[in-house]
Amino acid sequence: MTGLVTWRIRNIYGRWRKIWKEDFRRIFTRGVFIFLMAKPCFPVSTISSFLCCLFVSSFFVNSLVSLPFPHPDQIEILLAFKNEFPILKCDIRKWSESRQKTKSWTSKVNKSFDGVWFDSETGLVTELDLSGACLSGSLSANSSLFRLHHLRYLDLSNNYFDSFSFLPELAKLTNLEILDLSHMGLAGEIPTSVSSLNRLRDLDLSGNELIGSFSPLINLSRLSYLSLSNNHFSGNVPCSLLTIPSLSILYLSQNHLIGTLETMNCYSTSMLESLYLSNNRLSSGSLEPLSKFFYLKDLDLSFQNTTDPVNFVSLGFKSLESLDLSGNAISRLNIRSPNLKELALNECSINEFPTFIKNLPKLKTLRIANNSLKGEVPKWLWSMPSLIQLSLSHNSLDSFEGSPKVVLNSSLYWLDLIYLNLRNNNLTGNLPNIFDKSSYLITLDVSHNQITGKLPRSLTNCTNLEFVNVGSNRIADSFPFWLKDLPNLQVIVLQSNMFHGPIYSPQHPLSFPQLRIMDISGNKFTGSLPHDYFINWSKLLISIPQEKREYVGYDSMYDYYPSMYLRSKGINMELEKILPKSSFEGNINLCGLPLEQSCFSDKVPSTPEAQGPWPQKQEQVLNWKAAAMGYGPGVLFGLAIGQYLIDALFGTRRSDTQLHGGEKGSITGRD
């Protein structure tokens, strides 16, 4: 697609320049002469307006005149090619942008030929974009396609041919400059016919099942862009591939390449600017061989499937601007590159901040998520002059060195803190009021600390916020009515703090459109709850996500499930995963989503073990409680009432969990 955009821009520019040179000066000169001869005394402003209109008109007239008109024999060839595929099969699941392009090829008007471009002078087909054109079946060696000898751009990607006998015939298209055969299921070695296309500049063979040697590509001296990603190439990366004279961008990601970076010691004649080697099996103790590629700007070595920790040590890259080492267990890292702007170190088993980062004056983006960083975020990080994007999620960080206000004074405009999970630390003081409207915060968990003061009102800017847990702190504040309009908020845990005042007020009618759990136990709330308090809380407590929650660092994704403590009868029980079904398994009579057992089954347990030894009334109460857990947003509230009924029936003492005063119970939505 990049090649096509570049090609179209260059082609349009060439046509415009030709119009300017050959036609405009003649029309412009003649128009000015006629105008001045007819009206020699017009004021200057009128002349200026006329000249402007004449310029614009002449440009559009010439553009229309120069529109290409298809050559008759080219029309014949295209219609013959269309007839080779009478049935078009579109698989939207594999290629969402698929459309039946050849279906529009019905007339001699060039606009009816979707994906075809004709030369403005000769009417010959020079560009053919059949990407995702729903072509299936056999593209034979005698196809009409190979009669289009003037083709310079050909894209057959994302089609589903059942044989590849046509590949040798590609050698007939000697004018090709851009060729895209990606995602076609090509198997075997690189077609030798490609070696005859000595005008190729861009070649894309990614997303196939190719193996073997790179030798058919070695003599393509004009090749500047080459993508071989997502194939089955193995062995070492040969210097002959890296030193193709004009090659500047090379994709070799997701193959089975092995060896060390030392085998790539062939930098002297290389023009490479971008090298992508992720998801292979390369190993090295040093980046030095690649650091000597003088023009190298982008380097991706992420996710090399090596068993031993890797040392990435370099004497320095002179031109490097982007480096991705994610997914490698790094035991030593030291990189010196004065021009580095992007650095990704996700999932590298790093347990302390690499100090060499301080010496990267132009660094704009740093991704160091999903590591083992502990303790404080160093304050020198906020003073880096160019840093604007920072990802620290999924670490074990517990505080900022110095005042949190240093974040506000930094150059950052995008900061990813995890799901911000700082629970069970020794945090003291107030929560900083630093959340703005650009925040992507979804989870805030600062429970079990020594935090005082009030909740930061800037949390209202976090429109993605789903989970807030500030339990077991010393926060003294009123009920946060001001959070009621957050569209995604599902869980609020305020338990064991110093919150006070009414939980309900006519001046603050509750909405909380997505709320499922609210825990206010262990505070000093007052007042009573109206009978319709839960009327709008109609969401299920338990939901089955339609898809995994994915957080992409640089090629890495994470799943995160919030947890909370439920307090009942003076005992804290942790709900480890509020959302997946394992939290409820192992209960014979428990039914309903997300469990597989339905509560509406006609089958009745036949064995005494399955039925249980309890009396019928008690069993009914337990089943009611199970149904509430499966379906009810009122599960926690239901448990409290269920316990009360059991105690009342069997003479046990009442639960010490109450709705107001003292140690209050958890409140959830209604069933």
**Residue 406: pLDDT band by 50, 70, 90 thresholds?**
low
Query: Torsion over CA of 386, 388, 389 and 393, rounded to 10 degrees?
Result: 90
Residue with more model confidence, 86 or 58: 86
Residues 83 and 15 in one domain: no
pLDDT value of position 119:
93
pLDDT value of position 249:
98
Q: What's the rounded mean pLDDT across residues 280-289?
A: 80
Residue 621 φ then ψ, to 5°? -60, -45
Residue 589 lies in a domain: yes
Name every residue whose Cβ is closer than 8 Å to that of residue 648 and which is 6 or more positions away in sequence: 654
Residues 226 and 93 in one domain: yes
Residue 613 DSSP class: S
CATH code of 207's domain? 3.80.10.10
Residues 75 and 124 in one domain: yes
Residue with more model confidence, 164 or 551: 164
Looking at residue 469, its amino acid is: N
Looking at residue 620, its amino acid is: Q
Q: Where do we find the tokens 């974009």?
A: 129
pLDDT value of position 362:
94
Residue 190 DSSP class: P
Per-residue tokens: 86: 């009478």
pLDDT value of position 15:
43
Q: In this prediction, what percent of the chain has a pLDDT beyond 90? A: 32
Residue 517 φ then ψ, to 5°? -135, 135
Residues 15 and 83 in one domain: no
Q: Buried (b) or exposed (e) across 18-45, using 16+ Cβ within 10 A?
A: ebeeebbeebbeebeeebeeeeeeeeee
Residues 223 and 90 in one domain: yes
Q: How many domains does the chain have?
A: 3
Look over the chain and give the mean of its residue pLDDT values, rounded to a whole number.
74
Q: What's the rounded mean pLDDT across residues 42-67?
A: 48
Residue 471 lies in a domain: no
Is the Cβ–Cβ distance between 84 and 140 less than 8 Å? yes
Measured between alpha carbons, how far is 529 from 509 in angstroms, rounded to an integer? 12
Q: What is the pTM for the complete model shown?
A: 0.66
Residue 633 lies in a domain: yes
Question: Does position 136 have pLDDT exceeding 80, yes or no?
Answer: yes
What number of helices (H) and strands (E) belong to the chain? Answer: 10, 37
pLDDT value of position 267:
66
Measured between alpha carbons, how far is 266 from 247 in angstroms, rounded to an integer? 14
Is the Cβ–Cβ distance between 110 and 86 less than 8 Å? no
Is the Cβ–Cβ distance between 269 and 246 less than 8 Å? no
End-to-end CA distance of the chain: 52
Q: What's the rounded mean pLDDT across residues 362-367?
A: 94
**Residue 235: pLDDT band by 50, 70, 90 thresholds?**
very high
Q: How far is CA 249 from CA 169, 224, 228, 546, in A?
A: 27, 6, 11, 38
pLDDT value of position 112:
84
**Residue 430: pLDDT band by 50, 70, 90 thresholds?**
confident
For the stretch 637-657, pLDDT in tens is 444 444 444 454 444 443 343
Residues 50 and 115 in one domain: no
Query: Torsion over CA of 108, 114, 118 and 123, rounded to 10 degrees?
Result: -10
pLDDT value of position 616:
38
Question: Does position 354 have pLDDT exceeding 70, yes or no?
Answer: yes
Residue 470 lies in a domain: no
| Bridge partner residues of 502 (DSSP) | 526
Residue with more model confidence, 508 or 392: 392
pLDDT value of position 517:
82
Measured between alpha carbons, how far is 55 from 22 in angstroms, rounded to an integer? 14
pLDDT value of position 394:
77
The whole domain housing 619 covers 579-668
Residues 82 and 39 in one domain: no
Question: Does position 532 have pLDDT exceeding 60, yes or no?
Answer: yes
Of 232, 267, 293, the residue that ends a domain is: 232
Looking at residue 48, its amino acid is: S
Residues 17 and 129 in one domain: no
Measured between alpha carbons, how far is 628 from 636 in angstroms, rounded to an integer? 9
Of 232, 251, 283, the residue that ends a domain is: 232
Name every residue whose Cβ is closer than 8 Å to that of residue 604 and which is 6 or more positions away in sequence: none
Residues 54 and 73 in one domain: no
For the stretch 616-636, pLDDT in tens is 333 333 333 333 333 344 444
Q: What's the rounded mean pLDDT across residues 279-295?
A: 83
Residue 280 lies in a domain: no
Q: Where do we find the tokens 């997300």?
A: 594
Q: How far is CA 188 from CA 2, 184, 191, 236, in A?
A: 26, 12, 8, 18
Residue 158 lies in a domain: yes
Residue 277 lies in a domain: no
Q: Are β-strands 524-526 and 564-568 bridged in parallel, bridged antiparallel, or unpaired? A: unpaired
Question: Does position 369 have pLDDT exceeding 70, yes or no?
Answer: yes
Is the Cβ–Cβ distance between 469 and 446 less than 8 Å? yes
Question: Does position 272 have pLDDT exceeding 60, yes or no?
Answer: yes
Name every residue whose Cβ is closer than 8 Å to that of residue 613 and which is 6 or more positions away in sequence: none
Residues 633 and 608 in one domain: yes
Q: Which of 149-158, 384-393, 402-411, 544-553 comes out lowest in average pLDDT?
A: 544-553
Measured between alpha carbons, how far is 562 from 574 in angstroms, rounded to an integer? 11
Q: How far is CA 563 from CA 57, 266, 487, 545, in A?
A: 68, 53, 21, 16
**Residue 265: pLDDT band by 50, 70, 90 thresholds?**
confident
pLDDT value of position 568:
58
340: buried, middle or exposed (CB in 10 Å: 19+, 13-18, 0-12)? buried
Residue 347 lies in a domain: no
Residues 53 and 92 in one domain: no
Looking at residue 571, its amino acid is: I
Number of neighbouring beta carbons within 10 Å of residue 615: 11
Residues 213 and 96 in one domain: yes
Q: What's the rounded mean pLDDT across residues 421-427?
A: 69
Measured between alpha carbons, how far is 207 from 184 in angstroms, rounded to an integer? 7
Of 232, 258, 285, the residue that ends a domain is: 232
